[in-house]
Each structure stands twice: as C-alpha cells, then as structure tokens.
Structure 1
C-alpha cells in the first residue's frame, strides 16, 4: 500500500491543495526550526514567586481553554505555583500567549502555512508564543473514541513545551505513567521552534487497562486512553479503511432483490446462510453491486445524508468526509460465478478487489465527484495490483 499512497502524498506537498482533505494526507516536508539559546534569560519562578501569566483571547475556543488548564495543572504540580489566565499580556510579566491571535501574528507567526498538527514555540523578550491551528468544534476534555479527531496544534505545542522545558513525560495513561519533575526555581531560554509531524498518520494501540489489576484508575480508562492521544500528539483525523463492504450494509439493503451480488461457491450456490462465516461475501463483478456502490460513493462524497441511501448513518470506520472506503469483509471467500471465473482467466485472483476499486474510483473521477477512494492490501490481496491500473483518486 505504501507504494500507492506515498507518491501521491509527496506530490500534494508540492502544490496548492486542490481539495480540503489534501492537507490531511500530505506528507510534511518543510524543514524543522529548533533554535534554543544556551543561556536561560527568562525568569519564570524563583524564591516561591512566579512571573508567569497565561494569555488567552477574550473569545477562546475549548481547545485553547484546555491548553491553558494543562499549563496551569503541570506548573502547579511541578513548581507549586498558580498561573493566572488573563485576556491581554501585562507589562513586566512573562506571558505565555496561546493560539493564533493578534499578538502571535504581530510576532510574525503565520498559522495558515502550518502543516496539519504543526505548531510554533517562539519567544520575543518576555513573551512566549505557543500557536497552531485549533478546531473550534474540538473538545479535548471529552476527547476519547471518535471525539479525539480534531485539529489541536496549539495543544500539541503546549505538550511540547511541558516536555522540553519542564521535563514532563507521558509514558502511558494515568498518574502511574506520568513523570512530573519538581522545580524549586525555573528560568527559560529564548526559543524559536517550528515543529510538525513526520507522518500524517500517527496512532498507538492501548492495552485494555480497564482489566489490569495494577491500574488504579480503571473506571476512567476510556478518558485516560483518549487523554494519552492528546499527550502523544497522535493523528487528529481518521482516513477510513476498514471493511466497508460489511459496514455499508450491502447485504441488508440489496441481497433480497438482487441475489446476484452474493458470492457463489464451487457448486453454484450463493452464500445466503446468515449463520455461516462466509455469509456476506460478495460477487465483485456483479453490475448491481458496482452500480449501488458507486451511488453510495457519489452520495457520501457529495455531502448527502446516509438516509438518502437507506442507511441510518455513514459508518465512521469506513466513511469520513472526503474519503470513501472500499474493502471486503473478513472471512473472504472466492466467488465462482461465470463472470468471476472469466476474470480469473485473465488476471490473478487477488486483482479482483483492485478491479472493483479502480472501477468505482474511475467512475467517480469521470463524473467529477471530488474526494478519495481508500483501499488496503489485506488477506489474499496484500500487494499493489499488477494488471489493474488505479486512478489517482485512490489512496
């Protein structure tokens, strides 16, 4: 799959983004800038007295307010000081100014050019700017499950600041996995940092901590795992690629009237037994299947509600704004209908899934429908296609 995805992503970094989702999948290529002075000239905390304040715009979204609260929490635990949150920088204070605002722009920080999830940490005199792109709809306090996918560049910068300058470490969820060094005094160097991820897709698979006897906060495990995604600056979006042919309820919607969409076994019988693990396998050469799948893709990528296609909703594991997944279910079973047998005479059997992907993506391209079809090498088709050409709207 990498040989398919990466060339397109690299190309996107060299051009103006044609679609909103292009910024999501583009590989960042701009060089990092990490300049930190050797001498610590910004007095922060000495003799029990703090010079710090946190500056938020008067109208700040939930991500910025959460970022401010995280700074307060970890300065409280690390330095035993309470940081005030104010709406404008005060002369004589050391001001940590959060977000894309009038002060950060006056300091020359342009968040519009940041790659997704990138951020700035920049000091000018006694002002420290931490700024990135933050989604107004995001809510870090409730960020677990699907709610973790929102842009939060400033919050990423705050965690970078805490790790780099206070020595905070987030090794795994909960208090037992968090290291907070104690500081009796603290000064900071002048800094000019622009940083961003190496890859747009970044995630971790947490163990089921709710079933670990040693874990003291089991009742909060979902929130703690979500919080860990924030701490580790994991991906802020999800490109769907997960068994869409099952999640689109193809069988439930169409099999009764169009049994030819079901795969056929070696004896000429369709897989119609709901109790069988092979139930739900489809015939990928079925014209009905291809037409209905194309109409699903057009509907979703055009922004229509799933109800227009007889669904209660677009399953987020397979369908996301700008992306439409085509992938068979687990327990794949070869179809032996005459059409599929004819295909196998001309192509390796593994090419059949790619042929379906190419067919739908090509029709979308020809119809001028914006967006991408996602596909993944899996099971008996793990490699890029050899005899089928994929259009450039396939990821």
Structure 2
C-alpha cells in the first residue's frame, strides 16, 4: 500500500502522509532469518551516525520480532552473504542509481531483495531510516500505531522469508506532521523521546526530521495573523489593517472576532517583513528555501471584514473563501520578491472552506485542506475518507480544485486531536 496510513489508529496524523511507489514483481524467496542461522547487516566501513542508526533500528526490531540478533559489521566488501547492505555501501550503487532515475523527490528511498541479499538505500539520512521502517512494515507486518513500545505492533515470527522484489518510493507530500505533543513521552527508544521516535518512524519531517538537516520548516502556526501582525502592536497606528465591523468601526482589540482586512496590501507587506527574519533564521539552520513553509492561516474564528473591497470578494455561497485566499495571494506575491522558493500556506477551513469563485491561488501558494466538520465549511464526515466522493463530496471537490491550482496541498485530519488518542469529534464519529 502506498500510504503509510493503514489503520484507524494511523489516522492520528495531522497531515496525511502519502508516497508514490514502484514495486517490481516477486520471484524467488530468501530465508532471511531462522533461529539457527541469519544474515549479516552490513554498513559502510566509514559509516556515518545515521547509517549506524538505521542498522540498529533494523537489528532491534527484527530481534523483537524473531528473537534473532543479526550482527552488524562495517565492511565495504560486496561478497558477504546472506547480507543486508545499508546506506552508501558500494553494494547499493546500482539500486541508488535506479532510485534516482525513478524520482528526484527529497525523501525518496529504495530497498531490494535479490537472491541472497537485501539492499536498502536513500540519498538523505532521514530517508534511509524510512527505507528500513518501510522494509520492516512490508516484510514482517511491524506497525507503529501510537508512541511508545505499547503502541508498536510487532508480530512474532520464527522464520522470515522475503520474496525477490524492488521497492522504489518517493513522497507525495513534502511536508508531513501530526498534532500529538511529542514531548509528553518518556525518552526510552533508541536515544529519543518515544513521541519523537513515533514521529520519525511515521516519516514526519515538519519542525524536526530524524536528521535535523532534512527538516522542513514551518513558520507561524495554523492561525498566524496574530503571530506576524499582532493586533496589540499595530491596531492603534493602523486600524485600517483590521476588520471593519457592522457599526463602522475597526476591530482594534484582541478579544474574539478579530481578523485582518483581507484586501489591505500594506499590511501584507508588513506581514512579510516580519516573516523574513524567521525565514532567514531557518536558512541559517541549514534549511533551504524550498523546504520552508510560511503559514498564512486566518485567526481561529470566522473570517470576515465588512469594508467594500472585502465585501466584493464574498462568494455567492456566502463564504469568505475568495477573500481569505486574496490575502494569502497578497502575501505570496510580496514574499516572491525576496524569497520566491518559500511556499505560502493557505488554510481551507471554517467559513472560508469552499472553492473560491472570485480569486485563484497565486504562484507560490500551497493549500491545507482541513477535515473540519461544520456544514458551513467542508462538512467532513469522519466515518469516511476525507476525499470520499460520496460521503465527503465537498471536501473532495475542494481538494481536487486546490491540487490542480496550487504548488502543493496538505491534508489536516482531526484525529488524535491535540493529545487525545481518540477520533474527534466523537459524537459525529459514533453517530456515523
């Protein structure tokens, strides 16, 4: 299966993970492990820390599953057999070339079983471990459901037979994360907090990848208007930047109900000026622009402004989808002047969760499709897939639109909401 989300428990993801996959047909079978004999895990003679980490993950998880501890050796010989070659070992050169022909996506990886050898490789340190975990999931049935050892499903196997096959994978979603507080678990797995290990084993890379150099950066929060243009800082001098109310006044206090004026280009310029130092900070940490995402999500309330330009952008269905996208576009055009490779994320949510009828996404805009349930938004039925064409026809239509018009899309699934490992909202889930 090409999605890492395979069970209801796997719906704990904030952003659904998808990988495109090429699997070549099976042929002969390799008996990799038996109680009386086993293969050797081989890493390069000058293996780096992440090659060692990947080998240790393979060794540890196979031990838990089979009771057999495969030895790890550092040796550039290609003659060892039976063997599992890890990382930049010379034996993996042919598979690495095949992978590079298959895809240039950053987190691509590959593994291959051929005769009495297994080859596992990837161009990035984090993706090398992704390859190991994918190999284990597909060959042993190991699965990582919730953080911690109790959340790992590890089948007990006496014999592990693997058919000849080649697996080439590349991410369908560049930015991947989830909404569980990873810091709330004890540091008890392979040198990492168990929540962090859950993040890594499920191929998350937002905020922190296994190797920090592979991280995708997220600036702001899901609702970031106040992060970059705090009302307490700007309202006194620039009341016109904030939403016009029914009584003719501008919202200038931070109580519920404030938004930005969604057509004000001056505030968009200030927004970007405030974001640029954070972008540069990420670049200083080694994160390139193409792996940085600037969140342009409206405040977490209905989005509206009653000024005439904003009213003109209100959609015929009564939503503010075009108006909110208009402000995202202002940000994207401003940011493109200095940082054209940074993506600007547009939230599709609340009363701006429909297809915009008056504005199309500007170049540089990516979209986050939320699985919000309200009828005035995407009306998602959590008893079915977010993009089920029958039960979630609205969400599917919206997702198809933004996938066709943006530099990329994300899925925000409301499962495992915050730190609770249950579907949310429970009432609708049960009623369905």
Sort the TM-score into its range (normalised by shorter chain): 0.5 to 0.7
Q: Distance in 2 between matches of 1:196 and 1:345?
A: 42
Task: Identify which of 229, 234, 239 aligns with 1:259.
Answer: 239
Listed as ranges, the gaps of 5+ residues in structure 1 are 1-26, 136-151, 211-216, 307-312
Distance change in 2, residues 1:342/1:283 (3 Å): closer
CA shift for structure 1 position 254: 2.9
Task: Identify which of 122, 125, 132 aligns with 1:132.
Answer: 122
Q: Is the 8 A contact 1:130 1:157 kept in 2?
A: yes
CA shift for structure 1 position 130: 0.5
Q: Distance in 2 between matches of 1:292 and 1:208?
A: 33
Q: Distance in 2 between matches of 1:90 and 1:367?
A: 48
Q: Is the 8 A contact 2:231 2:252 kept in 1?
A: no
Per the alignment, in what secondary structure is the counterpart of residue 376 of structure 1? strand
Task: Identify which of 357, 372, 385 aligns with 1:386.
Answer: 357
Q: Does 1:69 align with 2:59?
A: no
Q: Is the 8 A contact 2:313 2:323 kept in 1?
A: no
If you compute each CA radius of gyration, which structure gives the higher value, 1 or 2? 1
CA shift for structure 1 position 46: 4.1
Distance change in 2, residues 1:379/1:183 (3 Å): closer
TM-score (norm 2): 0.63
CA shift for structure 1 position 28: 6.6
Listed as ranges, the gaps of 5+ residues in structure 2 are 1-17, 207-215, 367-432
CA shift for structure 1 position 121: 1.5
Q: Distance in 2 between matches of 1:304 and 1:167?
A: 42
Q: Does 1:285 align with 2:263?
A: yes
1:299-340 Cα distance to aligned partner (Å, 9 max, x none): 359x5349xxxxxx99x9xx995432222111246334xxx2
1:188-216 Cα distance to aligned partner (Å, 9 max, x none): 43332223455546555559997xxxxxx
Q: Does 1:344 align with 2:322?
A: no
CA shift for structure 1 position 104: 1.0
Task: Identify which of 147, 154, 160 aligns with 1:173.
Answer: 147
Q: Does 1:223 align with 2:180?
A: no
CA shift for structure 1 position 382: 1.2
Q: Is the 8 A contact 2:333 2:362 kept in 1?
A: yes
Per the alignment, in what secondary structure is the counterpart of residue 389 of structure 1? coil
1:191-245 Cα distance to aligned partner (Å, 9 max, x none): 32223455546555559997xxxxxx77869933332233334566466671121
Q: Does 1:360 align with 2:323?
A: no
Q: Distance in 2 between matches of 1:92 and 1:366?
A: 54
CA shift for structure 1 position 162: 1.9
Q: Number of paired residues?
A: 327
Per the alignment, in what secondary structure is the counterpart of residue 147 of structure 2? coil
User: Could you say which residue in structure 1 is the equivalent of 2:69?
Assistant: 82
Q: Is the 8 A contact 1:173 1:227 kept in 2?
A: yes
User: Could you say which residue in structure 1 is the equivalent of 2:304?
Assistant: 334
TM-score (norm 1): 0.68
How big is the alpha-carbon RMSD for the aligned residues of Structure 1 and Structure 2? Answer: 3.9
Distance change in 2, residues 1:238/1:36 (3 Å): farther
Q: Distance in 2 between matches of 1:182 and 1:101?
A: 30
Q: Distance in 1 between matches of 2:360 and 2:263?
A: 17
